[in-house]
Structures are given as C-alpha cells and as structure tokens.
Structure 1
Amino acid sequence: MAAVLRLLLPCLLARVWLVPGTAQARPQTPAVQNETSQEVQAPEEEEEEPWLMASGHQLSEQTSNLGFSLLRKISMRHEGNVVFSPLGLSLAMAALMLGATGQTRAQLEGVLSQTGPGDLPALFRRLRQHLSRNQELGLTQGSLAFVQEDFDVKGPFLNLSKRYFDTECVTVNFHNASQARKLMNHYMNRETQGRIPTLFDEVNPDTKVILVDYVLLKGKWLTPFDPVFTKADTFHLNKYKTVKVPMMYSAGNFASTFDERLRCHVLQLPYRGNASMLVVLMEKMSDHLALEDYLSTDLVDTWLRNMRTRHMEVFFPKFKLDQKYEMHELLKQMRVTRIFSPWANLGELSAMARNLKVSQVLQRAVIEVDEKGTEAVAGTLSEIVAYSMPPIIKVNRPSLEEFWAIFERKKVKSDRADGSQEARKGRHRGR
C-alpha cells in the first residue's frame, strides 16, 4: 500500500508497505486490490484569497512536487514503510531562511519556490493563519527555538521568527546534554499531544540553536467506519507472502475514477472540513514502483477532475507508522549544500555567523488511521552548531621540510663532488 497525504501544502507523505494491509473498493462484485496511495486534497472554499490564487498556489505546487521528489529519493534508500512531511520540511527550510544570506539563502529558496526573494516567510505565515481557521479539520502548526543560554541571537531574527512562524524561544544549556534533551523532549511531547514524546536522542554540546517545526493533523472521517465491522483479513505483502490485519468496512456513495494510462483505481474518502484522502489501487502487484515515477500535482489534479460518485463497499486497513529520516542527506542531493558547509552564511542569525553551520536536519513522522479518522504528526529539527577553524599557519620562514630539502640538495652536490674526485683519481691511475 502506498500513501500520499496533501492538505493545501503537503502535510504528510507516506508509502506503506508492510504493516496495514490493503484497501478494497467494490461497486457490486468483489475486486481485490493490493497497493494503495492516499492524498488529502486541499480544502475547497467558496472564496479563495488572492494570495492563494497567485504565488500561494505556486508555493503549494512547488512543495507538493518537493514531497513527490523526496518520496522517490527515500524509496531508493529505504525498503518498506515510508512516512514523512514535506510541509514540515518546507517550514523548517523557510525558518532557516530568516537567518541566512547570500548563496546560503538562495539555495533554500530555489528548492522551496520561485515566487521571489522575501515572499516565502510571508506566504507561510498566511498559510498557517489560513489553516488555523479550519476548525473541523484539526490541523495545527507550530515552531520552537532552543537557544544556548550564553549564545547571542540577533533580535531581528527572533522577532521575524515570532512574526512569521509564531516561534516560542526556549533557553537551554546544551553543555548539560542530559538536561537539555529532557527539556526539549518535554516541549515536543507537549506540543504534539504525546504523539512524538522523544524527538531528541542525542545532544551535541557544540550546539548553539535548534529550530523545531511541527505539524499536527486530526482528520475525522465525514462518515466514520463502524468498529463492529472491523475484522481480521488478509493483506498481500507480495505475490508469495500474506499477513492478517484489522480491516475496516463501510458501504455508501464514494467518488472514484480509473486511470487508464497507469492502470489504477482512485478512491476518495472524505474528511470533515472539506478535505479528503485519495486511495490509489494498482491493478497489478508491484506497479506502485512505476506510479511513484509519475506522481505530481498535475496527475493528482487530473484524478480529482475525473471523479464520479457511485455506491461502493470499501475495505480499508487500520495502521500506524512511525519513521525518522536524515533530511540533510536528501537536501544535499537536491543541491542544498552550502548551509551544511563551513561556507554557510548565517549572518542574520548571529554576529558569529562565520563559525556557524547547520549540522543536521532530522524529521520524525507518525501517522495512525482508524475507524474515526487520521491522526498524523511530524517534527522537523534543524541543528545549528559552532565549529572551530583550524589554526592559521603562515609559512614565511624555512620549515623543517625546507631544511630537509636544502640538506638533500647539499648531499647530492657533495655526492656528485665525491664521484667526480673518484673519477679523476681513476683516470690518473689508468695513465
């Protein structure tokens, strides 16, 4: 089963292989399918704001396609279940932009959007405000900044972080690793309502700032599955292996379509709050690998336009996934490299920018689907560390190697001179 969740911007992206089982959609006669893809559609409003219709729409598409690109890269590196949040990663990169300048900032902007310098933080701010108004959907986003107690962060950076991302600043002592880890995990556990109790496993004592962005989704089905009908059923892992999983059941009117080119059924499961999950069922086992190569916002929009409503029986598995990824390695593959190098320019973050770089970007994502709906949360941390430049050595006088070179040159000349003397003596004896 493969899954893709999107809400205005991609909230969560998941490819599910082993645990949950499969979804089945039956118009009248049974038709067992084995691979699934899901997508949360953007809420449809009667009146869309101008920013959403223009650069906001472009930002949404860019972040969606970023998610699809990351899914392909993660799938190549990891077998089995995949779940992560493109929105969470985009928010983390936008937060880093506030402290970056020059090429460091330009690389971040290039991956996120082409709307132009200075637009992204404002767009994310409006996005957060827009999402918070959808009370039925239950989507929240927040930001934390853990700052070393004796580290000087520029006031404008903190003010902009508060303005655009409502960032809460917390002072910690990273030199006391155990205490710092406990404090940060306490905040994450609180903000994610217990879904991510331990985002931090280790603490680098050279850390100066850790920025954390989190996204929490609580989507309730428009028509919940009845737990009475949830039964253990067979899930096909591949052609040769099956497992038993809890399978939910519902019958009613559902929107769906069939993609002739990719040979897949697409089913829409609605949430409250004008959002929905798209479930993509491949006709043949393992064809999900080909589907991942074609996933894009244009493909999803085509599916949505072709939806038709009809009466169906739907079987869908209960499942839970919990994954963690090193996003900095994936970003480097997408040419975001400068911020992780000694050439990083974080001059808007602190006056000591020459000695700062991002050491890692980690994300943990959790998704759980049951009869009531979908709960998903993702936390993305960006660790900013101070590093020491190597001592400066200026060779402006003879070094040991130069002494050895001089010695060797003198030795060679001496050997040549000795050889010449022996040759002359030989010639003299020959006479």
Structure 2
Amino acid sequence: MWAVLSLPLACLLAQAWLVPGSTLASHSPEAQAGLETLLTPTAQNKTSQTSERQWAPEEEEEREEDSPWLLAEGQQLSREASNLGFSLLRKISLKHDGNVVFSPLGLAWAMAALTLGARGHSRAQLEDLLLQAWNQTWPVVNQTRPPRLPALFKQLQESLSHNPELGLAQGSFAFIHKDFDIRETFLNLSKRYFDMECVTVDFHNTSQAKRLINHYMNQETQGKLPKLFDEINPDTKLILVDYILFKGKWLIPFDPALTEMDTFYLDKYKVVKVPMMYRSGKFASTFDKKFRCHVLKLPYRGNASMLVVLMERIGDHLTLEDYLTTDLVDTWLRNMKTRKMEVFFPKFKLDQKYKMHELLKQMGVRKIFLPWADLSDLMVTERNLKVSKVLQRATIEVDEEGTEAMAGTLLEITAYYMPPIIRVNRPFLFIIYEETSRTVLFLGRVVDPTLL
C-alpha cells in the first residue's frame, strides 16, 4: 500500500479510435478509445467524515449469482448509453457544425468506472446520467454492496466479447503514483468489473512517467497511439486509462477497383473531390417522410452495422439531430426493406477531440467537478478529490474493407421504394451499433470527408 503525500484532484480524459488493419490481437488493439483520470493536489484541505463502506465478497457473489436483473436491465442500459450519445451530439452541435465522431459507450464505460470511487450525490449524479429513465427507481446510495452499474457494464462487455467476429475489445489500466494510498476495495472492484491492470509510476519524474505510460499504450495499440501524453503534471497521483476498440469489416466489401474520385457537396455552393466507393447488391433501407431522410444499413461481420442517415436537402442534418433517440432508430429499423440497389459511399477518416466535462455539467453532472466532490472511495485517507475535466478523442477510418473503430404513426415513417441508386455525396450522419443489444458503439457526422 502506498503512502499519501498530498490531496488529490481528478482529471479525466477519454479517447476512442477506429482504424483499419489486420485482426485484433487479444488485449493488443489497433483501435483506441480510452479514459484517463489524473489526480493532482487541490488548494484546499477540507476533510470528509464519511464512514468507509465495507463490501463483503460473499455478498458480491450472492448478488451476481442471483442476477436475473442483469439480463433485464442490461438491454435498458444499452438504450440509456445510446440516448446519452444522442444527447451529447446535440450539445456538441450547439458549438460545432463540422465533422463529429465519438463513442457513447466509451464515455459511459468511463463514468461507470468512476462510480467505484464515488459516494453520495457525486455517485448518484453519475448514475442518473447513465440511467436517466430509471431515476425514480434506481437506488441513490447503497453503502453495503457494490454499485449495480459496474456489474451491468461487465455483463454487457462479456456479451459483446463473446462475438469474436465483431472485432470489439476493451481494456483498462491504472497508473498509480508510488506514494498514493489507493483503497484496496477500489482496486479489487475495478479489477473484477473492468479487468483493470495496475502499474506503479513515479510521477515526480515526469519524463520517465511519460515514457512509461506512452510505452504501455503504444504496445496496447500496436503503434496506433505511440504518444498519448505530451506533458504530465508532477503532482499527478493516478491515471486511469479505459479504452474501447472496434475494427469492423464489411459483410460484403466494396471493390477497390471500382473506387473513383467524385464530387461531395459541402453545401449549396462548395464542393470537394473524394474517393467514392461503389457496390451493387441488396441493401436494407427506409425513408422517413417526416424528416425527409434516407436511412441506409451497411452491415459488418459479427452482427454489427452502420446506419447512414442522408437528408434529402443539404444542411438539414443539423435539424434531424435534435430528434435522434433510440426510439426513432428502432422505428427506422422496423420499417426497413431489403432491395437491389447501387450505393456510392465516400471513404473518410475523422479525428476529433471534445471537452466532455463542459457538456456533462450541462447534463446535470456537477458534483464531481466541485472541490467538495465525494470521491473518497479512491483513497484510504479522507482527502478532497474532484474531477477537473473530461475529454474524449475519437478517430474513425472507413474504406473498402470496413471500418476500423417517437414510435408510432405520427412520425409517418414508411419503407417506400428508394431510387435504385443512392449517392452519399453530401453531409450525413452515421451510427455504428451492435445488432443484438442495439448498443451504439460510435456516433458522428461527416460534413467534409476530406478533413480530419
């Protein structure tokens, strides 16, 4: 156990990566989505008298063995994480109208991991963020047993990992300063629910710590993320890295020999030239009469798909984002018909970073960012902890082989006959999801496929 030298302040960073390449090796991904939490001293010395929570292992085993709720609530968890993504997309759109890509599941995973170190209202706000539909029935604080969220995410991760063709992997690291007295309970539970690996680091030697962490992450991503950190604060006490990885291959690839440069309309007046892929075959699709958009389904191997949402008129995609929900997506999927058609789809690569802490505050998660945040389950000695920021970086690359990363009649959604040719040659939205759980893995928009 390490000795505490100072009061910590938490800072979180999440990253998501999707890249093309060969088959994913076990725990050696080629695509990266990560969360990192940097703990550094606060300026205040306010102590908390909250009693330590005790969790008996036998109680944990009993809870998970008697767990039909995992199956029932796991499906709802996927919907909540997906709706969180749609809400974040709307927040991003208020300040950013360009290319977008991020992982709702990656951010949700990060927040769930943080609940293991939080108590009281700090933990309750994290749970409310992830389980908005359950606010009235979800327990605010449970001081005798582990939070249910980590168990739900573990069940979801196991369900997704049982499909090797999906090309999805997840991993977690805790880089701990040699003098940081972290709780054994947090270490044990993070290992149990998130399979977190712990590495001791001397953060006072910033250059050595930076090289060590970058070396670990470079290995994990097989060189796709050689430099995670440019700088490290010498007062850092803990860095948590949680990554989710997806490398999907199209069920029926596009033929590279048929890819040609073509026009992509940025708006009514500006165009760019992009490599446009082509494939003729049977595609599932529908048309939403209310929103005037085509919805095209491009399946991956391993029971996952990309939904491409293409508006009839250039520029209307921003309006549609205000109405995106899992219920709307479900309605699109129910109304899809499979037909023979020709599809032109652009190759693109995006690389985006967002200050998620600003968005999370707007969505009601505020306690963890305050000096009196209750993250006392991270340390043996009671100290002030707060989250200073949450960032997410996401990269997606789509080529010929694949991707490497209100219900009811009022909506007037019908599966009418689409034109035999559909050209995705103007701004569009995309949703990458796993079919069985309907979990949204990555979400975004392409406004200019020539820009990162």
TM-score range, shorter chain: 0.7 to 0.9
- Helix, strand or coil at the partner of 1:217: strand
> 1:189 is matched with which residue: 218, 221, 237?
218
Q: Give, in whole Å, the separation in 2 of the partners of 1:200 and 1:328.
A: 19
> 2:152 is matched with which residue: 115, 120, 123?
123
Q: Answer yes or no: is the 8 Å Cα contact 1:255–1:309 preserved in 2.
A: yes
> 1:190, CA displacement in angstroms?
2.2
5 Å-filtered alignment, 1:56-135, equals 56-113=74-131, 114=134, 116-117=138-139, 118-135=147-164
The percent of aligned pairs where both chains have the same amino acid is 71
> 1:178 is matched with which residue: 207, 211, 216?
207
Q: Give, in whole Å, the separation in 1 of the partners of 2:348 and 2:329.
A: 24
Structure-2 residue corresponding to 1:240? 269
Q: Deviations 1:360-413 (Å, cap 9, x if unpaired)? A: 22221111100100011999xxxxxxxxxxxxxxxxxxxxxxxxxxxxxxxxxx
2:289 paired with 1:260: yes
Structure-2 residue corresponding to 1:291? 320
Larger gyration radius, structure 1 or structure 2 = 1
Gaps of 5+ in 2: 1-14, 19-66, 140-146, 406-431, 433-440, 443-452
Q: Give, in whole Å, the separation in 2 of the partners of 1:87 and 1:339.
A: 20
Gaps of 5+ in 1: 1-10, 15-48, 380-431
Q: Give, in whole Å, the separation in 1 of the partners of 2:382 and 2:110.
A: 19
> 1:158 is matched with which residue: 172, 187, 190?
187
> 1:180, CA displacement in angstroms?
1.7
Structure-2 residue corresponding to 1:367? 396
Q: Give, in whole Å, the separation in 1 of the partners of 2:316 and 2:226.
A: 36
Structure-2 residue corresponding to 1:249? 278
Q: Give, in whole Å, the separation in 1 of the partners of 2:222 and 2:87.
A: 30
- Helix, strand or coil at the partner of 2:279: strand
Q: Answer yes or no: is the 8 Å Cα contact 2:286–2:337 preserved in 1.
A: yes
Q: Deviations 1:6-39 (Å, cap 9, x if unpaired)? A: xxxxx9899xxxxxxxxxxxxxxxxxxxxxxxxx
Q: Give, in whole Å, the separation in 2 of the partners of 1:248 and 1:374.
A: 13
Q: Give, in whole Å, the separation in 1 of the partners of 2:269 and 2:69.
A: 51
Q: Answer yes or no: is the 8 Å Cα contact 2:258–2:278 preserved in 1.
A: yes
Structure-1 residue corresponding to 2:416? none
Structure-1 residue corresponding to 2:380? 351
- Helix, strand or coil at the partner of 1:181: helix
Q: Answer yes or no: is the 8 Å Cα contact 2:17–2:396 preserved in 1.
A: no
Q: How many residues align?
A: 335
| Structure 1 runs (4+) greater than 6 angstroms displaced | 11-14
> 1:51, CA displacement in angstroms?
5.3
Name the amino acid aligned to 2:124. A
Q: Answer yes or no: is the 8 Å Cα contact 2:16–2:245 preserved in 1.
A: no
Quick one: higher RCO (CA 8 Å, sep 6+), 1 or 2?
2
Q: Answer yes or no: is the 8 Å Cα contact 1:255–1:308 preserved in 2.
A: yes
Q: Answer yes or no: is the 8 Å Cα contact 1:231–1:248 preserved in 2.
A: yes
Q: Give, in whole Å, the separation in 1 of the partners of 2:17 and 2:232.
A: 28
> 1:351, CA displacement in angstroms?
2.4
Structure-1 residue corresponding to 2:73? 55
> 1:50, CA displacement in angstroms?
5.7
Name the amino acid aligned to 2:264. F
Output the TM-score relative to the length of structure 2: 0.71
- Over the aligned positions, Cα root-mean-square deviation in angstroms equals 2.2
Structure-2 residue corresponding to 1:209? 238
> 1:209, CA displacement in angstroms?
1.2
Q: Give, in whole Å, the separation in 1 of the partners of 2:200 and 2:171.
A: 17
Change (3 A) 1:143 1:12: closer
When structure 1 is superposed on structure 2, of 61-70 and 348-357 the one drifting more is 348-357
Q: Give, in whole Å, the separation in 2 of the partners of 1:329 and 1:188.
A: 26
- Helix, strand or coil at the partner of 1:196: coil
